[in-house]
Amino acid sequence: MMIALSATVSRLRAIPNVAVFENEPLQRRTRFAIGGPCRIFVEADGVDAVSGAVAVIRSSGAPWVTLGGGTNLIVSDEGFDGIALRPTGSAIRSSAPAVIAAEAGASLQDLVDASIKLGWSGLHTMTGIPGSVGGAVYGNAGAYGRSVAESLVEVEFFDGSSLRRLDNAGCRFRYRESIFKQQKDWVILSASFRLQPASAEPLGAEASRILAIRNSKYPPDMKCAGSIFKNLILDELPEPVRRQVPAEVVREGKVPSAYFLEQAGAKGMRAGGIQVADYHANLIYNTGCGTAAELRSLIADLKGRVRDRFGLELEEEVQYIGFEGPVRIAAAGQPRQSVL
Ligand SMILES: Cc1cc2nc3c(=O)[nH]c(=O)nc-3n(C[C@H](O)[C@H](O)[C@H](O)COP(=O)(O)OP(=O)(O)OC[C@H]3O[C@@H](n4cnc5c(N)ncnc54)[C@H](O)[C@@H]3O)c2cc1C
């Protein structure tokens, strides 16, 4: 493996606009500030660099992942014995009538800010969602009533052998879901959005109001991934659970998973250096010295509590690198991993 990968490093370094880092600590690349080293970390700027890098990466036979800003990731303490690819192209372009396009490596906030400056409505409520445009498309990011799915026109991506495009329907968006979650070896390169002409001033005012709320909930230096678990669709809940949900907690047809977590006593729980916020049961953060093992242990405990209390399986919104998959909890009645 080492010999094959050292040849891979040389081949990657020969591609224009590609930067290669060996044994890169992923704690530097994630908002949780958790994660061991990645054998090869590749930054590729532009379509040719990304497609060239993917061709080399695939031919190496090593496991590989794509990542963006690392704001929705849990990386194992052991790191990732493979290759991580980060598209870094960040150009943003606008064209009439009210279409704005961005490369995957652009920050979502830069895209949101550009749209507000143009006086185009549709992305402004997503102000304050950290991470890249690529990550936002992958997870159909959204906040305050709007998500990527409502305004996205087209995505350009590399499927490993050719450049392809998908329209909105082709992306199969659902709540925090897209086709890219099923096709993890497709690399998103850029996306375009059709917005509604409006007026910059009220859009900016609304964005500022939202940002102030968000900053009080997620201080900018908080080491976290936003919400750990997806919310639940009210209509999909079993009838006995639905009956227990007070109408006032339902938002846009969804029940915040924080509601179930709070009932299960999650607020303020701790596992080593990892803490559930005492004001928000679906917000877990690293106090500074937390590990991925503690994070997984706490997630297992929270999932188990909600299952025991409501018979519901919470699903992580956060994505994992360097693990076999999401946290699995023991079947009901069997002992679970306890919180450290
Ligand atoms: C404080 C805080 C608040 C948050 N609030 C919200 C919120 O309100 N709403 C919301 O939806 N999310 C929220 N999030 C979660 C996170 O910001 C989003 O999921 C974001 O879109 C992730 O983007 P990223 O670039 O950081 O992706 P990463 O975390 O780097 O990656 C996430 C996933 O996207 C995939 N991916 C990334 N780039 C590409 C690409 N170019 N091609 C293919 N796959 C790719 C990765 O493989 C990975 O599986 C919040 C996070 C934090 C830390």
What lies within 8 Å, CB to CB, of 333 at 6+ separation is none
Alpha helices in 218-291 (DSSP H): 239-244, 257-263
pLDDT at 224: 98
Angle at 271 between CA 265 and CA 274, to 5 degrees: 100
For 116-168, the pLDDT digits (tens) are 999 999 999 999 999 999 999 999 999 999 999 999 999 999 999 999 999 99
**101/62 same-domain check:** no
Q: Are residues 227 and 169 in the same domain?
A: no
330 assigned to some structural domain: no
Is 240 exposed, middle or buried, given 0-12, 13-18 or 19+ CB atoms closer than 10 A?
exposed
- Shared domain for 185 and 108, answered yes or no, is yes
Asked if residue 214 belongs to a domain, the reply is no
pLDDT at 329: 77
138 close to ligand 1 (CB < 6 Angstrom): yes
Domain boundary among 203, 228, 258: 203
Q: 34, 59, 87: which is the final residue of a domain?
A: 87
| Probe target for ligand 1 pocket from 34, 51, 67, with the most ligand atoms within 8 Å of CB | 67
What's the pLDDT at 327?
84
CATH code of 280's domain: 3.90.78.10
| 52 and 28 fall within a common domain | yes
pLDDT exceeds cutoff 80 at 298: yes
Q: Which residues on adjacent β-strands are paired with residue 100?
A: 94, 193
97 domain-assigned: yes
Same domain, 54 and 9: yes
**Looking up tokens 């925090």, which residue turns up?**
176
Same domain, 228 and 193: no
In a domain, 79, yes or no: yes
What CATH number is associated with residue 62? Answer: 3.30.43.10
Residues 225 and 308 in one domain: yes
- Residue 87 Cβ contacting ligand 1 at under 6 Å: yes
pLDDT digits (tens, 9 = 90+) for 184-207: 999 999 999 999 999 999 999 999
- Of 148, 179, 203, which one is at a domain's C-terminal end? 203
Determine contact, residues 336/329, Cβ cutoff 8 Å.
yes
For residue 339, what pLDDT band results from cuts at 50, 70 and 90? very low
Same domain, 225 and 184: no
Count of the separate structural domains present in the chain: 3
142 ligand 1 Cβ < 6 A: yes
pLDDT tens, position by position, 25-61 = 999 999 999 999 999 999 999 999 999 999 999 999 9
DSSP 181-241: GT-TT-EEEEEEEE-EE--HHHHHHHHHHHHHHHHHHS-TT-EEEEESB--EEGGGS-HHH
pLDDT band, residue 332 (cuts 50/70/90): low
Distance CA 262, CA 306 (A): 9
> Do residue 50 and residue 142 come from a single domain?
no
Does the Cβ of 123 fall within 6 Å of ligand 1?
no
User: Ligand 1: which residue has its CA nearest to atom 19?
Assistant: 72
Instruction: Determine the pLDDT at residue 324.
Output: 83
Catalytic residue set: 176, 227, 317
Q: What is the DSSP letter of 5?
A: H
Average pLDDT on 315-339 reads 74
Indicate whether 310 belongs to any domain: yes
Question: To test the ligand 1 pocket, which listed residue (64, 66, 83, 138) has its Cβ within 8 A of the most ligand atoms?
Answer: 138
SS3 170: helix
Question: Domain for residue 72, yes or no?
Answer: yes
Asked if residue 211 is part of any domain, the answer here is no
Note whether 35 and 100 are same-domain residues. Answer: no
Domain check: are 65 and 102 in the same one?
no
Domain that holds residue 81: 2-87
**Which CATH number goes with the domain that contains 188?**
3.30.465.10
Confirm whether 259 is domain-assigned.
yes
Same domain, 106 and 80: no
pLDDT tens-digit readout, 220-278: 999 999 999 999 999 999 999 999 999 999 998 999 999 999 999 999 999 999 999 99
Rounded to an integer, the average pLDDT of 297-303 is: 97
